Amino acid sequence: MIWMLHEIVEGLACGRARGYDCDCDQGQQRDVTESNDDNPLLTGLEPVHDESARVLVLGSMPGARSLDMQAYYAHPRNAFWPIMEALFGICRELPYARRLAGLREHRVALWDVIGQCRRRGSLDQKVEPASIVPNDFDRLFAACPSISLVAFNGRLAEQSFERRVLPDLQARFARIERVRLPSTSPAHAAMRFEHKCAAWARTLAPVVGLRRPE
């Protein structure tokens, strides 16, 4: 798949496809059972997948806009859907259900590491670490036996998975390859869109293939 997105990556420095940072202030830990009416426990979205999925893209926790709309990456300045359009030809203007169908067609699954947490606003830095309840990944991996790559959308997703999921994950699932990609969040503005897109392309192409340039 050497052809992958020449119109995107041509002329770009190779850079690293792995290990991009987005600093997270862990803050002061609090008891998850503590009453906190002005900072309620948030619940994430259901996974998007089918049994043919080969790549699982994991965010940390949906932002406020995504939770309000019950849609992944709903913030208009989040780069996720523009990247999916560049890589797979899934038009960002399509209705949400059709975009999800496009991901399934290309064997890409979506979920978040955190199932529940307390967070003020949308920034990862505002997640209260003691409040984090991870999602059930044994169940998801069992339902998607062809997943061979877990791609973290940013640093908090990777950190949360390694700290709160990996220690209790079944050994066969813990062996699945994992990689951190540059965050598509508008808060991660230090990296240009073209460089983010190139990093995602280099990582996903060997696993799921990309559309051929026209």
Choose among 56, 6, 99: nearest CA to 207: 56
Rounded to whole angstroms, how far apart are CA atoms 199 and 1?
15
Helix (H) or strand (E) holding 139: helix 137-143
CA 54, 58, 64, 69: dihedral to nearest 10 degrees? 10
Asked if 20 and 191 touch (Cβ cutoff 8 Å), the reply is: yes
Rounded to whole angstroms, how far apart are CA atoms 129 and 118?
8
Give catalytic residues, as residue numbers: 78
DSSP string, 71-134: -TT-STT-SHHHHHHHHH---TTS-HHHHHHHHHHTTEEEEESEEEE-BSSS-GGGB-GGG-EE
Structure tokens at 179: 């990689």
Asked if 184 and 153 touch (Cβ cutoff 8 Å), the reply is: yes
